[in-house]
Amino acid sequence: METNYHHLVKILLVGDARVGKSSLMVRASEGTYTDNIISTIGVDFKIKTITVGDKIVKTQIWDTAGQERFRSLSSAYYKGAHVIILIFDVTNDESFNNLTKWHEEATKFASPEVKFLVVGNKTDKETERQVSSEDGLNFATTIGAGYLETSAKNGSNVDEMLHTAAGFAIGYQTPPKASREVKEMVKTTETPSRSQSQDTTTTSQDGKEYDYLLKHLFVGDAGVGKSSLLLRMTDGVFTGTYLSTIGVDFKFKTITVGGKTFKNMLWDTAGQERFRSLSSAYYKGAHVISLIFDVTDYESFNNLKVWYQEVEQYAPSEVKLLVVGNKTDLESARQVPTEDGLDFATKIGANYIETSAKNGSNVDEMLQTAASIGVGMNSQDPSKDSKDIKTPSKTESQSTTKIQERSLDYLFKLLLVGATKTGKSCILQRYLDNNFSDNYTSTLGIDFKNKSLEAYGKKVKLQIWDTAGEEKYKAVVSAQYQGAHGVVLVYDVTNRESFAKVQSLHEDIKGRSSDKVKFIIAGNKSDLDSQREVSYDEGTGFAEGIGSGFLEISAKSGENVQDLFTIMLTDLLGSQ
């Protein structure tokens, strides 16, 4: 009999009562949610047909009872399961701890070939969270399972859960394998203390296998070739049909550099925004992070600034950085000059290399460079153990930067926000370099610069982000609102539309940022008074209405530019 699907997949949802299994089943199959779902009695199931790659997959989603009295009934349903989803409630520590029992039961009754996916549900209750993403990830890794966090209530990642499970079942994707090496790796991510997390010298029970065990993360936008670099680096092959990573993936590669043996744990993290909270947990314990962009895609390069900010937030302070421009085999389509990549790497104190996962150019060199700089994180005397390894001098500037940052009293993130062509980049240039150029190009996405200074006896570093005003960069720019300490809303006094724009931007930023963020309004181009469309009184009135400071400035003449940042800094320090 002819069927209208390629694969029939049986998926079991197991876990404690009230973790949301039934709600996830209904959300996945019907796209709805109700708070009044009753506990499952025995088992229940629904059908959902989806497309995975080019295959039509008919999924049977089985919801098994979490109560003890139904355990013997639901256990019979393990037979024939292709994927088992172990579900816990992120707001309930006990439901997470009980996953060990559920996994033991599953391995007892299910087929040895069954695939596992661990799911932390109820992420809509973030303020009540008891189980960290990192704990969930570590458990999933130890049993060789995939990991996702979901919300049946708002639908977050529920479709991804079903697609991931179906993908595991038909071999479209494979979860990581559980092994002694995996458990070793999880140990390194636990990092109970700073000194322990940075000790990379490892000896196994049966003798010394390697001198250094390094955790090396690949981060960057989706589609830049992280997975292809990982595959080329470890297996020496390339495929043009590589799939986007779901969450994380990893491989091992042992190499020798300067007479030392390095066992590299290479982690490929998802570039899609929906997996950002998942991959961020993997920064902990990293020794080297490769920030990867596509040389044929300027946006992916521009977004390295966002990835770098995430690294600064989550990674150890001693982590070493490597900036990698991939896809050099597409030279005729290049959008990012080598000089731009080098400039960015130098600015953040990183090494720089360009590669091609397709033809293998510089891929081995990338791994060797990462190993060389990563050894500097050894908590023993690194100079003693790595004297034969050539470490690029740029890492010295990174170390200096980190030491300087630890000696600061305050680090403030400031945003320059406004419509395009209001002069935000010129304001930043005038403040930092005290010069002006009429030929400034529009910012692509975001850019940032640092300024260190002393104010009121305090050592302060300003991280000043220059944001693009064009609508197509709205998503990139709005992502920066979170974590900002101060926002300079810039308009052009000769352009009324730009003044209306800052009023709408203020509302948007207020809704996305901390309620403690400070604002100041800047009316730029005051040197063009004869072309003025927005009066001084209008600017003052708007500032008073939102309770912020106000200045009219000229990036061209320099008028009031220094005062603008002095007022903002004074306001920030006064609130500490």
Is pTM, for the whole model, over 0.75?
no
Asked if the structure places residue 91 within a domain, the reply is yes
pLDDT at 275 over 70: no
| Dihedrals phi, psi of 215, to nearest 5 degrees | -100, 115
Asked if the structure places residue 203 within a domain, the reply is yes
Domain boundary among 347, 378, 403: 403
The answer on 205 and 298 residing in a single domain is yes
The answer on 434 and 496 residing in a single domain is yes
The answer on 414 and 393 residing in a single domain is no
pLDDT in tens, 444-462: 556 678 888 888 788 888 8
Edge-first strand listing for the sheet containing 212-219: 248-257, 260-269, 212-219, 288-294, 320-326, 351-354
Q: What is the pLDDT of residue 446?
A: 64
3-state secondary structure of 353: strand
> Angle at which helices 561-574 and 424-433 pack, to 10 degrees?
90
28 contacts 164 by C-beta, under 8 angstroms? no
Percent of the chain with pLDDT strictly greater than 70? 76
Greater confidence, 164 or 385?
164
The span from the CA of 174 to the CA of 474, in Å, is: 35
The answer on 365 and 219 residing in a single domain is yes
Q: Which helix (H) or strand (E) holds 401?
A: helix 394-406
The span from the CA of 468 to the CA of 418, in Å, is: 8
Which stretch of 111-115, 479-483, 547-551, 553-557 has the lowest confidence by average pLDDT?
479-483
| Alpha-carbon distance values, 82 to 24, 54, 137, 335 (Å) | 18, 19, 21, 45
> What is the domain extent for residue 377?
193-403
Q: What is the pLDDT of residue 454?
A: 85
Confidence of residue 315 (pLDDT cuts 50, 70, 90): confident
Confidence of residue 44 (pLDDT cuts 50, 70, 90): low
pLDDT in tens, 491-527: 999 999 999 999 999 998 988 877 889 999 999 999 9
Amino acid code (one letter) for 436? F
Tokens representing 457?
């006896």
DSSP for 151-172, written as a single string: -TTT-TTHHHHHHHHHHHHHTS
Considering just the CA atoms, what is the radius of gyration of the chain in Å?
Answer: 27
The answer on 237 and 133 residing in a single domain is no
Confidence of residue 175 (pLDDT cuts 50, 70, 90): low
pLDDT at 421 over 80: yes
The answer on 238 and 219 residing in a single domain is yes
The answer on 429 and 365 residing in a single domain is no
3-state secondary structure of 458: strand
Could you tell me how many helices (H) and strands (E) the chain has, helices first? Answer: 21, 18
pLDDT in tens, 69-99: 444 445 567 888 999 999 999 999 999 999 9
pLDDT in tens, 129-141: 999 887 888 788 7
Which stretch of 203-207, 344-348, 467-471, 547-551 has the lowest confidence by average pLDDT?
203-207
pLDDT at 62 over 80: yes
State the average pLDDT for the chain: 79
Confidence of residue 564 (pLDDT cuts 50, 70, 90): very high
